[in-house]
Amino acid sequence: MNEADVKNETGSKEPELDVEERFLISDLCDLISQYMDQEQVKEVYNAYLFGAQAHEGQHRVSGEPYIYHPIAVARILAQMHMDVKSIVASILHDVLEDTPATRKLIEREFGKDVAHLVDGVSKLTHIKFKNKIEQQAENIQKVLLAMAKDIRVIMIKLADRLHNMRTLGALKPEKRRRIAQETLDIYIPIANRLGIFTIRHELENLVFKAMHPIRYRVLEHAVNKASGHRKELIDKINQALGSRLVEMSIDAKIVSRKKHLFSVYNKMRDKRLPFSKILDVYALRVLTDSVDDSYRVLGIVHNLFKPIPGRFKDYIAIPKSNGYQSLHTALYGPHGIPMEVQIRTDEMDKFAESGIAAHWLYKSPDEKGAVAAHARARDWLTGILEMQQSAGDSLEFLENVKVDLFHDEVYVYTPDGDIMKLPRNATPVDFAYAVHTDIGNRCVAAKLDHSFAPLNTPLYSGQTVEIVTSPGSRPNAAWLNYVVTAKARSNIRNYLKNMQADEAMSQGRRLLERCLKPLGMRLDDVKQKNLQKVLKEYGFDDVSGLLEDVGLGNRPPSLVVRRLVPERVSDGESEETREMQSQAALAISGTEGLVVSYGRCCYPIPGDQIVAKLSKGRGIVVHREGCKNLEASNKRKKSDNYIDVQWADDASGEFSCEIKLEIENKSGLLARTATVISDCGADIENVYMEDKDGFSMNLLYLIKVSDRKHLATLMRRLRRITTVMRIARM
């Protein structure tokens, strides 16, 4: 959803906005003067004059002058003590989009930095898109790439989105829900990834209110009603803990924290609990002077109250990816009621609330956390740029970003003992790509805690992961079924695309040369003027595009040859045409790659009589002769979409094949048959069992074999099992 829907839509006037929402320029100047000099305050005021003139006559849906919105956005950033360029850009953030002002004018008046920030936040309004989804993806991609160059872009965008969410009431319900959904999908995860919890929590509550207004009111009432009793428990723990801290001479501050409504709602929904069972609505936070004191307080808390097993988390030793640090523990408080306690230093608390904004908010040399938070954000943004370079389009890029934003974490060790953070359910392939792209591309096996494990094994915290690589290996398309990190997914897709393009060009040349051979020609013998004419006709810049198109099965090679050498081949049943169609069969070796696939309807293997069909986008699909999905033989001869093929003498690889066993229903039969298949050197891809009459059953195995001889050997071994009554290839 575009902010333009919040801004310029005509509609009924809402009730008068409160003082906080109608924030004036004088109030903004007073606020920024607390940390800026007078020259900077003057620069902000000049930006206001420029913006007010540019937006003259424009109103929001609520009826207020439009300039109130940029001032409110600037106020949010001023509360984070953002720099003067950010404040100026936030006041001007909509002038490129909604007024005649140009980037050159902004650059002349306020400098290159401000012009870059304003341009980065502005949406692509002058480009026509196929649909809303593509438009959203392109706009978000533009913001994220601008953010990667200057992180202040996303700070302005988050503040802009926060104020729009605060003022959603003027819009129609369906538009409120659409904006709220986009906020939930994109902006809340970004705020979380950058560690800006103040903005994240407020956005979550506003999204909850917009998407489920009735649930929001009911839950808000329930929390307020229950607050009295819960606060009594908090006060008792507070008093007991405070007294013990004084005894131990630890200087610490204890504050109570109320869980925000969106978190309460998610917990009720995810765990299917009534509100009465949610016992951590209120919690305690203990703020200390040092890390040592934090761990000492943890010991005191566990001595006072019994800890709940499995609920302790140490984010100080191993911070979250957004820089968050704290000790979390859950306790059985008075009357056995569970309570949550968070323990961290004052500095950690500042960064927990401000995240990346702490880079501007706290600038003293002692505030190392801000520098660390900024470095972590930079690492993430570098990953964003890598994703963009390997993504095919804006929709794929947005999908990768969403994958990267939504995750819980596991912590694993490299063989050298370094800790690596990965999303939950990450696999060794994700780990390999996290180490380095080349490691991922050449990955062939993995060791978990020094034992070999499949590449699709989910990783768990504490494991040591070692990747085995091979110079000749390459990414497997099957990896896309289980990798979870955006970096792994985008790199695999990018590699496969390039690999498929290369293989398709090679296959296309092979198919064209095969059609030209009966005419005594090669592709290099085709007249240049004919080639250029065909390229222009088909819309290709060079011959590689044509070869790839033929190799992918989008154009029958015989038709292309007729266009390339019209003087030698006519469209009728000439001698040359018949000779071209009855040429020697194309040899299939099993190593052609992505442009040759094998029909899963009939599972051809070396030794079978085979036929190939051109399939758009897939290249050649090989079937067994007699497959029910093929046309009759006489029709195939008249079609340009079929190619005569045969297995090469040196055909190699593993090919899927399906066999059916009718077997007596006795215990251990599955294990016994599977053992025989394994001993014969065949891999089992899938197995399906169906009961027949209580005395016998059918076992359907999908296995991988090298050829018909291998399959025959395996089937003979299976027939020797006394309980096997019949066996057949499907």
**Catalytic machinery residues:** 97-98
Question: Who contacts 27 (Cβ-Cβ below 8 Å, separation ≥6)?
Answer: 75
C-alpha span between 350 and 368 (Å, rounded): 12
C-alpha span between 367 and 365 (Å, rounded): 6
Tokens of 30: 């007073």
**Residue at token pair 């030209």:** 516
Residue environment code for 613-644, b if the CB has 16+ CB neighbours within 10 A, otherwise e: bbeeebbbbbbbeebeebeeeeeeeeeeebbb
Cα–chain center distance at 284: 35
Tokens of 307: 């800890």
C-alpha span between 713 and 285 (Å, rounded): 69
**Residue at token pair 């070692």:** 466
Q: Longest C-alpha distance within the chain, in Å?
A: 106
Per-position DSSP letters for 325-359, written without gaps between them = --EEEEEE-GGG-EEEEEEEEHHHHHHHHHGGGHH
Q: Of all helices (H) and strands (E), which one includes residue 598?
A: strand 596-598
Residue type for 325, please? Q
Nearest to 69, CA basis, from 179, 197, 166: 166
Tell me how far apart the terminal alpha carbons of the chain are, to the nearest angstrom. 52
Inter-residue contact 40 to 84 (CB < 8 Å): yes
Inter-residue contact 327 to 348 (CB < 8 Å): no
**Strand blocks (E) in 384-442:** 409-413, 419-423
Nearest to 28, CA basis, from 4, 48, 6, 5: 48
Residue type for 596, please? V
Strand 313-314 relative to strand 327-332, pairing: antiparallel
Tokens of 128: 């026509």
**Residue at token pair 């014969």:** 680
- Interior CA angle at 676 toward 670 and 679, to 5°? 135
C-alpha span between 647 and 585 (Å, rounded): 9
Residues comprising the chain, all counted = 730
Q: Which long-range contacts (CB under 8 A, 24 or more apart) does 574-583 make?
A: 576/518, 576/519, 579/518, 579/519, 580/515, 580/518, 580/519, 581/637, 583/514, 583/515, 583/517, 583/518, 583/644
Nearest to 422, CA basis, from 379, 380, 459: 459
C-alpha span between 55 and 628 (Å, rounded): 68
Residue type for 149, please? K
Q: Helices in 552-662 by DSSP H: which ranges?
A: 557-564, 575-581, 633-637
Inter-residue contact 490 to 385 (CB < 8 Å): no
φ, ψ dihedrals at 261, nearest 5°: -60, -40
**Residue at token pair 């000790």:** 327
List the helix and strand counts (H, then E) for the chain: 30, 20
